[in-house]
Amino acid sequence: MLKRFSLFASACALFALPVFAQEQKARIRVVHASPDAPAVDVLVDGGKVLASLPFREYSEYLALPAKSYDIRVNVAGTSTTVLQANPTLAPGRDYTVIAVGRVSGGSEPLSLLLLEDNNDEPIPGQVKFRVVHGAPGAPAVDVYVTTPFEALDSRTPVLSNVPFKAASGYLSVPIQMYQGRVTVAGTKTVAIDTMRVPTWGGMIRTIVAVDSTGGGAPFDVLLLPDRN
């Protein structure tokens, strides 16, 4: 009887493993960071998955089978496609796609920025931050992370001379209260101030610098909740 059960269990394992692999999905979310673009619809393989996403807003993660996709960004309520991409999504991975740049063109035309996320849990006592320069109206920047209202005079930036469309790696820092400030590269002139940012165990955030509506200053940030 034990032998028959072992054979049955082995057969179940043999058939269950491929099924599990087939069901493992990728996740992707969309961020609208183009300051002069209207609200948009997002289509995946011809089907609308997001409707009327406005500037400075973002979706939750959407679970999709792992494969290549035709992703199109249309002016909301129309068939006018303004952006298109064909990413291949890997099983068990997370992605963030950001619409950046200006519809009006110039030196920073409208484009899609595809990032692969790392939502593996931080080590105990730490949190993870990632920074994305998504503000076409801002020059290259330095990024400071300090305790709240700490003077920057003697501080060194954690990221230096970050250009538009650049994304940092994940920065691991201890759990505590922080303040993030973004300055014009090489100066202490603050362009963006997050004020107080509380943190807690397991937290991961992506910080995206953005223009004001229409473009240019005053600049701000989107704090994307990657995990926890």
Mean pLDDT across 24-32:
97
pLDDT at site 33: 98
pLDDT of residue 16: 44
Q: Do domains 24-117 and 119-228 have the same CATH topology?
A: yes
Domain 119-228 fold: Immunoglobulin-like (2.60.40)
Residue 213 — pLDDT band, cuts 50, 70, 90?
very high
Q: What is the pLDDT of residue 105?
A: 76
- Going by C-alpha positions, the residue among 180, 123, 111 that lies closest to residue 152 is 180
Residues contacting 5, CB < 8 A, separation 6+: none
Domain regions of the chain by residue span? 24-117, 119-228
Identify the CATH assignment for 24-117 out of 2.60.40.2890, 1.10.10.10, 3.40.50.12780, 2.160.20.10.
2.60.40.2890
pLDDT in tens, 97-111: 999 999 997 889 999
Percent of the chain with pLDDT over 70: 90
Looking at per-residue confidence, does 75 or 14 come out higher? 75
**Would you state the pLDDT for residue 69?**
97
Q: Which residue has the tokens 């201890």?
A: 174
